[in-house]
A and B are shown apart, each in its own frame.
Chain A
Amino acid sequence: DSGVTQTPKHLITATGQRVTLRCSPRSGDLSVYWYQQSLDQGLQFLIQYYNGEERAKGNILERFSAQQFPDLHSELNLSSLELGDSALYFCASSVVYTGTEAFFGQGTRLTVV
């Protein structure tokens, strides 16, 4: 157990819908990262937050947004979902914003039908 909690574990939804993925980082970790992993693909960086502020942005679609709350948990919002958004979404956390081990949650498997 990495100490990073993601909910839900599985999510099935229809095209055009909106979903919210939740991540609770390890106790004491200030940085949260979101990654997307499509079938047999690598880890695509989406966005990073550090202590409530956006720190870095990757290839995140405009239909996707995220935030980190004062209690440091983070939410990734995916809207106007398309079939191609089906993927495993990982959250990771680390103590600082870079240069230290990032611990991954178990992921949320999103299936868009």
Chain B
Amino acid sequence: GENVEQHPSTLSVQEGDSAVIKCTYSDSASNYFPWYKQELGKRPQLIIDIRSNVGEKKDQRIAVTLNKTAKHFSLHITETQPEDSAVYFCAASNNAGNMLTFGGGTRLMVKP
């Protein structure tokens, strides 16, 4: 089955700096890669996703890049703000019916 690894497990940045979270996946058939943000005690919420026919996608301060050959994808947050502090999860799935497999999560702390 699919295995998703996520790094780093914790990340502390100064407000205004950029943050990068990286994930690798094992199943070459995976073609859908969402990122979820989970605030303390709340449900995970989708912030951005990318499909394998696209190399990069951007939404305001958030961008995701995908390297299919290397089987890794990354989340980039620019101009970080304290409200970006949360746990971020990457995930992968494919069209063959496999479930959404999550990485272990990254706790992002943005210091004012």
* Chain A residues at the B interface, C-beta cutoff of 8 Å: 2, 33, 35, 42-43, 45, 48, 50, 55-56, 58, 90, 92, 97-107
Please state if A98 and B43 are interface contacts (CB–CB under 8 Å).
no
Q: Which residues of B contact A56 (CB under 8 A)?
A: 97-99
Known: A42-B89, A42-B105, A43-B89. A98 touches B100 (CB 8 A): yes
Cα distance A30–B59 when bound, in Å?
A: 28
Please state if A98 and B101 are interface contacts (CB–CB under 8 Å).
no
| Interface check B94, CB cutoff 8 A | yes
Give the distance to chain A from B30, nearest Cβ to Cβ, in Å. 10
Please state if B103 and A42 are interface contacts (CB–CB under 8 Å).
yes
Cα distance A48–B101 when bound, in Å?
A: 12
Please state if B104 and A98 are interface contacts (CB–CB under 8 Å).
no
What's the tally of chain B residues with a CB closer than 8 Å to chain A? 25
- Known A33-B99, A99-B94; further 12 A-B contacts with Cβ < 8 A: A2-B43, A35-B102, A43-B44, A45-B99, A56-B97, A56-B98, A99-B93, A101-B34, A101-B49, A104-B43, A104-B44, A106-B43
Please state if A106 and B42 are interface contacts (CB–CB under 8 Å).
yes
Q: Which residues of B contact A102 (CB under 8 A)?
A: 34, 46, 100
Please state if B101 and A45 are interface contacts (CB–CB under 8 Å).
yes
In terms of DSSP, what is the predominant structure of the interface of chain B?
Answer: loop
Cα distance A103–B100 when bound, in Å?
A: 12
Cα distance A43–B101 when bound, in Å?
A: 9
Residue of B nearest to A109 (CB): B41
Cα distance A45–B105 when bound, in Å?
A: 14
Q: Which residues of B contact A2 (CB under 8 A)?
A: 43, 45
Q: Which residues of A contact B36 (CB under 8 A)?
A: 104
